């Protein structure tokens, strides 16, 4: 079957670091995406991992372990504007569909 799990909600403090985890089970794997979605807005692309390891992009980093079916998104030096939903999505190699998790709603407090 196909399943993507992420925590429903997380809270953090401005300036802190937060890690949002994503575990997946798909019949095949061909890449993992992270998207950010502010309330009432469209999702925007954050990162893409297809090989194991860490991809760093400014304050955001994304990690992938294909053997564990696991990824995380790391947000450093949190800002109030980082309050949003973070969506994990996996490209299933067998069906070629992009499967989304239900998203993690992050609230950043001052």
70 binds another protein (CB under 8 A): no
Write the binding mask 39 to 68 for another protein: x where contact by CB under 8 A, - elsewhere: --xxxxx--x-x------------------
Residues that bind another protein (rule: CB under 8 A) add up to a total of 23
Closest C-alpha to 60, from 28, 25, 35: 35
Instruction: Identify which of residues 50 and 54 has a Cβ nearer to another protein in the complex.
Output: 50
Which residues on neighbouring strands pair with residue 57, listed in sequence order?
60
Q: 33-65 burial, b if ≥16 CB within 10 A, otherwise e?
A: bbbbeeeeeebeebbebeeeeebeeeebbbbbe
Instruction: Identify which of residues 52 and 77 has a Cβ nearer to another protein in the complex.
Output: 52
* Residue 80 beta carbon to another protein: minimum distance, rounded to whole angstroms: 22
* Residue 87 beta carbon to another protein: minimum distance, rounded to whole angstroms: 7
CB 23 within 8 A of CB 104: no
- Those residues with Cβ within 8 angstroms of residue 40's Cβ, 6 or more apart along the chain or in another chain: none
Residues that bind another protein (CB under 8 A): 30-31, 33, 35, 41-45, 48, 50, 87, 89, 91, 95-103
């Amino acid at each position: 079957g196909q399943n993507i799990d992420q925590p429903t909600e997380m809270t953090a403090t401005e300036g802190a670091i937060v890690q949002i985890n994503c575990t997946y089970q798909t019949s095949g794997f061909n890449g993992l995406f992270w998207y950010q979605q502010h309330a009432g807005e469209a999702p925007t692309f954050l990162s893409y991992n297809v090989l194991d390891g860490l991809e760093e992009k400014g304050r955001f980093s994304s990690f992938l372990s294909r053997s564990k079916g696991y990824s995380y998104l790391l947000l450093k030096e949190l800002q109030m504007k980082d309050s949003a939903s973070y969506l994990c999505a996996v490209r299933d190699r067998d069906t070629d569909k992009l499967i989304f998790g239900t998203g993690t709603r992050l609230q950043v407090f001052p």
